[in-house]
Structures are given as C-alpha cells and as structure tokens.
Structure 1
Amino acid sequence: MNVELRGIAAPGGWPAPGCRCASCSRLRAAGVRHGPVSVVVDGVAMEDCARTDVPGGFELHGPRGGRALVAAGPGTRPEPVSGVEYDAVLLDLAGSPEHLGYLRHVGAVAATTEVVAIHVDHRVPSPVELERRMAFWNRPHHGPHRTLLLGGARSGKSAEAELRLAACPEVLYVATGPVNDDDPGWTERVTAHRLRRPAWWRTVETTDLVSVLKDETGAVLVDGVGTWLAAVMDEAAAWEDPSLAQPRLDDLVSAWRRTEARVVAVSDEVGLALLPTTTSGRVFSDVLGGLNQRLAAESEEAALVVAGRVLELG
C-alpha cells in the first residue's frame, strides 16, 4: 500500500486561523502552513476508496487490496477489526501516541505496518518536535538501548520517559519509590502517574533493578534512580559510610551495561538544587551525582528535562 500525504493537519490547518499559541505562532513566523488531512492511497484519493466504519474512525480498503486503519479526527482512537494486521495506520499521534502502543499490543500493527501521523495541530509544539517523537515511536521495542533522563523536581522528566515508550506494545514500569499511605501528597503524585500510564503496561514496585535489567529484553521504564539509591543507602546503612553501598552501585552499572532491554530511566539532576544543609543530604547528592555520570557514560542517549523542554546531551 502506497500512502501519499498531501496534508497532515487538523480540519482548521496548522497554524490554526487566529490562534496565538506558541506552536501556531512559530509556524506563522516561519511562513509555514500545513493543510488539513489529504491522502492518496495507491494513486486514489482517500475519499474515493472503499471504507468500513469502526468506532473512532474507519477501515480503508485500498485499490490494490491493502487495508489501513484511519482516525476520524483529532482526539479519536479507531478500533481495529479483530484479527486484522494493517498495512498502514493513520492516527492522531499528536494527541494519543499510546493508541499506537495499544494497536501493537493487540497485533493490529506489525513491524511492516506503515505508521502515519494525521490531524496534527498545535497539541505538538512544532514539526521538528513531531519528528523527534516519531523517531522514538518507530524505534524497535526491544534492546539493548539505554536512555537516562535527568531533571529537577516537577521538570517533566517522568512524562518525557512515558512519552518515549508510549508506542511500545509492552512496557514494564518499575516504580522504585516507597509506598507511603500516610503522605497524601505523595499518594496523589503516585495516583497521577498511574492514571497517566496505559492500562496494558505492567507495573512492579521493587528496588531490585539488577534483576530487572538482567531478565527483561523489552521496554522498561525505571522511575527513578534517586529513590532507588535512597532505598539502597537505607538497606546498606550507608548514610555515614557511603562505601557500604558501593557494591550495589557497581552491580547496577554492570547490569545497565549488559542489559538486553530497551530501558529508559529517570533520575534527579543534583546540580540544579541548593547545596544540601545536612550531612546526609550532601552524601546523597554526591553519590547520586557520581551514579548519574556512570549511567550516562553507559547510555546510548542522555537528556536533561527542564520545564518540560528536552535538551539532548551528546
């Protein structure tokens, strides 16, 4: 099936008329405009191809026998026909990249399926950002591949980690933080993270990251390295003598280096905060900073997330 895009945008186009958001303003200033969705399939306009309606969109039947699943509009998630592996999917990836993960999860999208973003608009900051995300979503779901995402508190690093793996059919989410029902604020944050994750992701709460990295071969999200280190420091009684935790750190770095998984790990960038005023705080900052450096050195990708913006680190 040959899919030719002549327009990719939502019905109002991109930039949207009269919209003053940053996304639309950037395109307008650059003299760029993307027209509403217009697709030609095997030389025939999509409107002239046979189609069957499905919830959230339609199944398109190409003139050469191919089949495509198409989102009806922005915010829609077309349901696949059971047992069908599509030649192409045209989806609202700006709004629902996790729907691609769902389609892969149920077998509707295979490695040979062409994945196309349509109904694009100012929900994505720029065409360059869409291209960046598409590179993650079309990447092989297995490893080995290691990504370390650094950032301060509330920087958006966890959301970026989830975004990078959103289109994977299976993801193991490793939560290293403590379960503390006595802290309403912490409970609220944990609940928000759970609701943001796709329902088909697996979740495990553990500090045994070494076993996870040794055993898994698919997509793994670790959130995060800082809470893991705090637990290890407690378990090793290493707050007064950090060297007691060193074997655990060495084991983690070794497992990170040898893993066959596609792993994205979130960690705190210690250089963004004020110098801790307590001895334990300074110890933690020093150890975590050193661990971040070691993990980054063994990573194919590392990035810093600030205010939701991502700076790739060479």
Structure 2
Amino acid sequence: MTTTFLLGGARSGKSRRAQMLAEQAGDRRVYVATAEALDAEMAERIARHKADRGAGWRTVDAPLDLVSTLQTLPASGEIILVDCLTLWLSNLMHHERDVQAQSDALCECLHSMSSDVFLVSNEVGLGLVPETPLGRRFRDAQGRLNQNVAEVCDVVEFVAAGLPLRLKG
C-alpha cells in the first residue's frame, strides 16, 4: 500500500495528475469527494469533475466524515482518490469541528490503509497574507494539515502548471 499526496495551487493540474496516477494503479477505483454542492456553480464543477473521471470510478461523498468513510472502504483491491483535503478542512471549520483532532485521525487512518491512496490538497500559503482573521486561521490550518499529511505519506508531489515535482519518495 502506497500513500501519495499531491499539492498545488488552484488549477495547477493536481487533481488531473492524481486521477492519472490512480488510473494507472488499478482498474477498481473509488473517488472520495469532499465537495458540497451549495450553489449552482459548485454543482456544475462537481458534475464536470465526475464527467472527466468517466467510467471505472465509484464515487463516495465525504464532506465531513472523511476518516470514517476511509475506514469503511473495502480492505483492499480498490484504489482510493481523496479530492480534496482543502474542501474537507473548509467544511470542518464551517461546522466547527475539531480540526486538529480530525487531522490527527486522518494521519492515523492513513497508516492503517491496505489500499493505495491518493490525496489532493491546495497549497494556500504561497500567496498574500489573508486580510481577515478567518482567512488567516484557514491558511494556517491548511498549512499544518498539509505538513501532517505529507509527513505520513510515502510520496509527495507538488504540481504547478501541470508539471509534477517530486518532493518525497
């Protein structure tokens, strides 16, 4: 079992890279979606992502309970793609969940997975300092989450302009 973490900015190609790697890894794949269709534009994005994946993917929604979702997936045989940790974190913060406890639980869960797992997340710390306290809290929480996940994953790649840069593994 290999865990692969793909980081990058918005529209960097990280999700496309993760999908390609997952498709190369096996024919039985599950896409764990963290997005929620709270408006028409987001519903359109979700539909587009699903269409881009095409056949061969089973989709499981996990906007909040990512860890329990991962724990209930088959013990082995399916390739797992989680897209994305940034939306998951946003959902956790919006619903006032304990972000550190959830992050710790995710990292512990990744140690026990018996399937290949690909995780996608945004690197949000490369831009300007956010103007609002909420924005700064989110940026800081995302940075900590990314560091924690990168530490436990076997492979870490940073994707920019569709080009992967191997950071670990």
TM-score of the pair, normalised by structure 2: 0.90
Counterpart for residue 284 of structure 1: 138
Code of the residue aligned with 1:193 in structure 2: it is: H
Q: Tell me if 1:195 matches 2:51.
A: yes
Residue 308 of structure 1 deviates from its aligned partner by: 0.4
Counterpart for residue 257 of structure 1: 111
Separation (CA, whole Å) in 1 of partners of 2:142 and 2:112: 21
SS at match of 2:142: helix
Residue pairs, 1:148-227, within 5 angstroms: 148-167=5-24, 168-180=26-38, 182-184=39-41, 186-206=42-62, 207-216=64-73, 217=76, 218-227=78-87
Gaps of 5+ in 1: 1-143, 238-243
Code of the residue aligned with 1:270 in structure 2: it is: V
- Structure 1 segments, 4+ long, off by >4 Å, are none
Residue 305 of structure 1 deviates from its aligned partner by: 0.4
The answer on whether the counterparts of 2:8 and 2:121 sit within 8 Å (CA) in structure 1 is yes
Code of the residue aligned with 2:59 in structure 1: it is: T
Separation (CA, whole Å) in 2 of partners of 1:232 and 1:303: 25
User: 1 or 2 for the larger relative contact order (CA 8 Å, sep ≥6)?
Assistant: 2
Decide which structure has the larger Cα Rg and report it: 1
Code of the residue aligned with 2:50 in structure 1: it is: R
* Structure 1 stretch displaced more, 227-236 or 211-220: 211-220
The answer on whether the counterparts of 1:149 and 1:305 sit within 8 Å (CA) in structure 2 is yes
Higher normalized helix content (fraction of residues): 2
Counterpart for residue 128 of structure 2: 274
Residue 222 of structure 1 deviates from its aligned partner by: 0.4
Residue 250 of structure 1 deviates from its aligned partner by: 1.4
The answer on whether the counterparts of 1:219 and 1:263 sit within 8 Å (CA) in structure 2 is yes
Residue pairs, 1:243-254, within 5 angstroms: 244-254=98-108
Code of the residue aligned with 2:34 in structure 1: it is: T
* Percent identity of equivalent pairs: 39
Counterpart for residue 3 of structure 1: none
Code of the residue aligned with 2:162 in structure 1: it is: G
Count residues in correspondence: 163
Separation (CA, whole Å) in 2 of partners of 1:287 and 1:258: 24
Separation (CA, whole Å) in 1 of partners of 2:101 and 2:19: 30
Separation (CA, whole Å) in 1 of partners of 2:110 and 2:128: 29
Residue pairs, 1:118-129, within 5 angstroms: none
